[in-house]
Amino acid sequence: MALSFPNAHIIALDLPDSVNLLKEKRKKVPNMGKNLLEQKNIQILEGNGLLSIKDQINSKKDAFKNTDFQKMTPADFVVIRASNSIDIYSDWEKEVKPALGKMALEFKDNTLLLFFADKILVKPSGQTQWKKVGFVSQRGFNHNVQTTSHVDAKVPPYALENGVQIKNILQ
């Protein structure tokens, strides 16, 4: 995503335990994830998808110091990848739906593309309503398996619904 959307701010939200596991593995294999982590427009945010994303970013300013998030303006395009956490461990009506509403309000001035569970949602700039525009395949999302080797390599990690084009989302 960081390479596909070089002008977007990408936030990869994951649970602290998962981020810590990545950090531990990188101590043993320093090149692991190097291409991803060297991108200036992506930031891995260890956090909680039920809480304010902006508050979590602000509380971790040091982690964002070498990224382009310091220059983020309200009109910028933001992509958030949040899967395998709140979507399966939290109550939809009481926790998830209000969290998504809060996220839409926090980023009201931004176009926001959200990879959430097996869905791709978009919230246009100036709006607070989400619209489903695509899906994440088993190649890019599976709660029960830590690998995608069981999925044919020809299956794309995600797909947009008929008629949806990225250039239309970015406008």
Q: Per-residue pLDDT averaged across 14-28, rounded?
A: 82
Token pair belonging to 157: 């990690």
Better-scored residue on pLDDT, 90 or 107 = 107
How does residue 123 score in pLDDT terms, banded at 50, 70 and 90? very high
Percentage of the chain modeled with pLDDT above 70: 74
Determine the average pLDDT of the residues in 112-118: 84
pLDDT of the residue at 151: 63
pTM above 0.85, yes or no: no
DSSP per position, 21-32:
HHHHHHHHSTTT
Contact 49, 15 (CB under 8 A): no
| pLDDT value for 94 | 93
Taking residues 95-111, what's their average pLDDT? Answer: 91
Segment 85-91 shows an average pLDDT of 72
Dist. CA 99–CA 84, nearest whole Å: 15
**Over 60: is that where the pLDDT of 146 sits?**
no
Q: Is 144 a residue whose pLDDT tops 90?
A: no
pLDDT category, 169, cuts 50, 70, 90? low
| pLDDT exceeds cutoff 60 at 97 | yes
**DSSP result, 38-59:** T-TTEEEEES-TTS-HHHHHHH
Tell me: pLDDT of 127 over 90.
yes
For 65, the token pair is 């110091």
Average pLDDT over residues 128-138: 85
State residue 141's pLDDT score: 57
Specify the pLDDT at position 130.
94
